Amino acid sequence: MEHQAPLYDVLNYLPDGIVMVDERGVILFANDAFSEMVGFRSSILLGLNMLSLLADIDVFQKCIEKVMREGKSLDAETNFIHSNGTIIQAVKSVRMIRHNDYVRFFVNVRNQTDLNRLNKELRTSKELIELQAHELSSLLNSKNQELEEILSSIDEVIWYIDNQTLSLRYVNRAVEKVFGFERDNFLSDHTLWQQQIYIDDRNLVQMFFETLLPGQSQEIRFRILHHEGEIRWLSSRIYHHPSLHLFIGITSDITAPKAQSEKIAFLAYHDPLTHLPNRAKLKLQLESRFEHSSTSPFALMFLDLDNFKNINDTMGHKIGDSILIEVSNRLRESVGKYDFCARFGGDEFVILLEDADTLSVDAMAQRLIQTFKKAFRVNEMDFYLSSSIGIVLYPYDASDVEDLIKHADTAMYEAKNKGKNQFVYYHTSMQRALHDYLHIEALIRDGLSQNLFELYFQPLIDTKTLQLEGYEALLRLPHPKEGFIAPDIFISVAESNGDILVIGQEVLKQACDFIETVRKLYDEPFFVAINVSSKQLHQELFANELLEYLHQRFIPTSFIKVELTESAVMENIEIAERQLRLLQQGGVRIALDDFGTGYSSFSYLAQLPIDTLKIDKSFILPLFESSSNRHIVEAISNLAHVLGMKVTAEGVEESSHYNFLMEKNIDTLQGFYLCRPLPKGKILKNLEDKVPYFTPIFPLGYTI
């Protein structure tokens, strides 16, 4: 069986010492961690009495007596004597098991050097020792089936995955409780565990695996989405096995400790009448999203029943309660597994939706309105209800919990004022129109037919020389009233209706015009980076046509760089690879944009002819809000350099970002701190007047 070796290995890689003794204290087994802790080789330890290693024999004997008397595991602090005579403070848990006729004690010893860590981990020590006890007892038999059975009874998730593909090779049954899926689902779909990682934590997890060196073990905490849609916190200790090419891990669900005990949590966080999550749970759910800086967009709906007060007043609370229960059931059903529904107060409900695009949000709001069409039947009587819904979109309408709810409530009142039984978005009417697909589509058409699209250029600075390296071309679509429409909005519409192909040609043309003009004013080499969307990349002739166009215009290919997002490349790796090779052979350099936000496999990336990784601004902007962002930036930088690629950081807005990135060996910087995107005319004027784009400040504090 495939999993035989690593399961036995678990005992030796565990950071805790594990010892098995008989009732007199004679050591029958000791793992590597224990040998190391006390400074004796395990061959010497076997047969030795445990008492001879203890500085405080009494404590141990009392502990054993108590365990024998009460039959459960026990924690105690104790001092061991190291072979070099020093005293080691440790904490141990002792557990007794009966094996056939004889009694064995399993002792789990943990070095107490790091008190903080200890306090955190103490609460899991009972489970841990149970796990270790079972494993040891199975060692006595050393039969796989038993081992498998024992592993099934352990509460912690034990697993291992391939260190290259991260595909799952083994997991015990405990996974079912933590994830809510059958274990077989994980064994047949080897990437299911990755799909269930909460979207905002995927980078963290991936970075963790990329940087955990063979032979090392480390702990990581991250969130997953339970089968029923609930976010759960897990803590995993993971070991990178050097010769088996596996990551081996033990994972526990720490959601409950985070919210005290589950029972208290349920009472504290659920509404006793409808069993829906309550207002406190809603806040917790929202806050846990905000704990990570790069929260993905979502929608929040505030739903209020119309005229419910009348029913309560005329028919009494009992009937009112029955109706509320039925309303909750219908809402729960409409909202489905992946979204979240809470009872906010009397007849108010709040729903969180993962899909924040207007089409999905509209569809859900319609569905909710529809669920009220059917009569509510209580005591043989039919009641007809309707609801009014207010909707806010994160991050467009609000950026914190209070404002989200406040604005959704405002929108809900607007829905009431407009005649109830409908939904209303929080936006002002202009903002709402801007999010409207058809409206944007029309603006794009106008933009194309009237040549309104205009490229802006944002300088990129080489950190070694502090000179200009090139420009990123960023597209602007002017709007008659709103100034500009953000490219993030119109590009996604153009991608979905195919207009992006025409837009892409326009971008290339304007970029080439710009290169031609700038070359006349500026002798040094530079490049213009153009953004290419996935739809363009997947056109059969994309690379050839681009090279051909540059050739026609007599522009050397080194003047163009192509920026592709990680997800565009990973969408179809074979097509992407073919196009990238053609571009590279033609001399066009390639940058991987928004790096860190997708979910790419480094083993693929290493094979692709990528020149530069562009760390996404969502890591740079909140660089000093969480240390994990700084670690990710450093890890990407190291990784890129190992792979022979360069690194660019975008979104450099502050001097603190600048100083940090200069220090961390980032090759190129881009951001408002250095220079905003400028129209062509302004760039040319600066070049003519020899005005620098920016006045960079050396990290030491003087300007050049």
Q: Which one of residues 156, 200, 593, 667 is an interface residue with Ca ion (CB under 5 A)? A: 593
Residue 565: CB minimum distance to Ca ion, A: 7
By beta-carbon proximity to ligand C2E, the closer residue of 369 and 491 is: 491
**Cβ-based nearer residue to Ca ion, 285 or 533:** 533
Task: Tell me the residue nearest to ligand C2E as measured from the CB.
Answer: 671
Among 652, 662, 683, 684, binds ligand C2E (CB under 6 A): 652
**Closest to ligand C2E by CB, 156 or 650:** 650
Task: Give the interface size with Ca ion as a residue count (CB under 5 A).
Answer: 4
Q: How far apart are CA 189 and CA 423, in angstroms?
A: 40
**Residue 394 near residue 300, CB atoms below 8 Å:** yes
Neighbours of 606 (CB within 10 A): 13
CB 204 within 8 A of CB 184: no
Smallest gap from Cβ 672 to ligand C2E, in A, equals 4
Identity of the residue, 174 or 562, whose beta carbon is nearer to ligand C2E in the bound complex: 562
Question: Per-residue contact track with ligand C2E, 553 to 582, x per CB under 6 A?
Answer: ----------x-------------------
Beta bridge partners of 54: 80
Please, which of residues 510-539 interact with ligand C2E by CB under 6 A?
531, 533
How big, in percent rounded to 5, are the helix, strand and coil portions of the chain? 45, 25, 30
Q: Is-contact 95 9, C-beta < 8 A? A: no
Q: Strand, coil or helix: what is 223? A: strand
What are the φ and ψ backbone dihedral angles of 603, each rounded to 5 degrees?
A: -65, -30
Binds ligand C2E (CB under 6 A): choice among 3, 104, 343, 617 = 617
Residue in 78, 285, 531, 579 binding Ca ion, rule: CB under 5 A: 531
Among 659, 635, 631, 630, CA closest to 647: 635
Q: How far apart are CA 156 and CA 603, in angstroms?
A: 30
Binding ligand C2E (rule: CB under 6 A), the pick from 19, 594, 612, 628 is 594
Residue 653 interacting with ligand C2E (CB under 6 A): yes
User: Phi and psi at residue 425, in whole multiples of 5°?
Assistant: -80, 150
Report which residue type is found at 611.
Answer: D
CB of residue 694 vs ligand C2E: minimum separation in angstroms? 12
User: Please, which residue, 300 or 562, has the CB nearer to Ca ion?
Assistant: 562
Among 121, 339, 566, 594, binds Ca ion (CB under 5 A): 594
Residue number, 156 or 594, with CB nearest to ligand C2E? 594
| Residues paired with 343 in a beta bridge | 349
Give CA–CA dist 594/564, Å, rounded: 8
**Residue 680 binding partner per list ligand C2E, Ca ion, none, with a CB distance cut-off of 5 to 8 Å that depends on partner kind:** none
Q: Scanning residues 409 to 468, which ones bind ligand C2E (CB under 6 A)? A: 458
> Min. distance of Cβ 593 from ligand C2E in angstroms?
5
Q: Where are the beta strands (DSSP E) in 468-571?
A: 468-479, 483-485, 527-531, 560-565
Within a 10 A sphere around the Cβ of 243, how many other Cβ atoms? 9
Residue 669 found at the interface with ligand C2E (CB under 6 A): no
User: CA-to-CA distance for 547 and 315, rounded, in angstroms?
Assistant: 76
In the bound state with Ca ion, the residue whose beta carbon lies nearer, of 121 and 593, is 593
What distance in Å separates the CA atoms of residue 544 and residue 554, rounded to the nearest whole number?
A: 15
Instruction: Report the alpha-carbon distance of residue 31 to residue 40 in Å, rounded.
Output: 11
- Are 276 and 341 in contact by the 8 Å Cβ rule? The answer is yes
Q: Determine, following the binding rule CB under 5 A, whether residue 563 of this chain makes contact with Ca ion.
A: yes
- The distance of closest approach from Cβ of residue 670 to ligand C2E in the complex, given in angstroms and rounded to an integer, is 6
Q: Which of ligand C2E, Ca ion, none has residue 442 at its interface (CB below 5 to 8 Å by kind)?
A: none
Phi, psi of 589 (to 5 degrees): -85, 160
- 255 binding partner (options ligand C2E, Ca ion, none; Cβ < 5 to 8 Å by kind): none
Q: Could you tell me the smallest distance in angstroms from the CB atom of residue 657 to ligand C2E? A: 8
Site for ligand C2E, residues 460 to 499, rule: CB under 6 A: 474-475, 486-488, 491
The number of residues in the chain equals 704
> How remote is the C-alpha of 460 from its chain's centroid?
28
* Cβ 577 to Ca ion shortest distance, Å: 20
Q: How far apart are CA 124 and CA 234, in angstroms?
A: 13
Q: What is the 3-state secondary structure (H, E, C) of 559-578?
A: HEEEEEEHHHHHHCHHHHHH
The answer to whether 604 contacts ligand C2E (rule: CB under 6 A) is: no
The one-letter code for the residue type at 202 is R
Residue 586 within binding range of ligand C2E, rule CB under 6 A: no
CB under 8 Å to 668, separation ≥6 — which residues? Answer: 460, 461, 462, 463, 469, 612, 646, 647, 648, 649
Nearer to ligand C2E, 284 or 568 (CB): 568
Here the tokens at position 667 are 């090759």
Question: How far apart are CB 162 and ligand C2E at their closest, in Å?
Answer: 32
Q: Which residue, 150 or 621, has its beta carbon nearer to ligand C2E?
A: 621
Four-point Cα dihedral 248, 250, 251, 254, nearest 10: -150
Pick from Ca ion, ligand C2E, none: which does 533 bind, CB < 5 to 8 A by kind?
ligand C2E
Residue closer to ligand C2E, measured from CB, 281 or 657: 657
Residue type at 589 in one-letter notation = R
The three-class DSSP label of residue 451 is coil
* Contacts (CB under 5 A) with Ca ion, residues 1-30: none
Handedness of CA 549, 550, 551, 554 (dihedral sign): positive
From the list ligand C2E, Ca ion, none, pick the one residue 580 interacts with, judged by a Cβ distance below 5 to 8 Å according to partner type.
Answer: none
**Cβ count near 402 (within 10 Å):** 10
Question: At closest approach, how far in Å is the CB of 654 from ligand C2E?
Answer: 9
Q: CB of residue 591 vs ligand C2E: minimum separation in angstroms? A: 9
Using the rule CB under 6 A, give the single segment among 372-380, 597-605, 628-636, 647-655 that binds ligand C2E.
Answer: 647-655
Is residue 566 within 8 Å of 600, Cβ to Cβ?
yes
Distance of closest approach, residue 588 Cβ to ligand C2E, in angstroms: 16
Choose from Ca ion, ligand C2E, none: what does 652 bind? Cβ within 5-8 Å by kind: ligand C2E
Contacts with Ca ion, residue ranges (CB under 5 A): 531, 563, 593-594
Contacts with ligand C2E, residue ranges (CB under 6 A): 458, 474-475, 486-488, 491, 507, 531, 533, 563, 593-594, 617, 621, 650-653, 670-672, 677
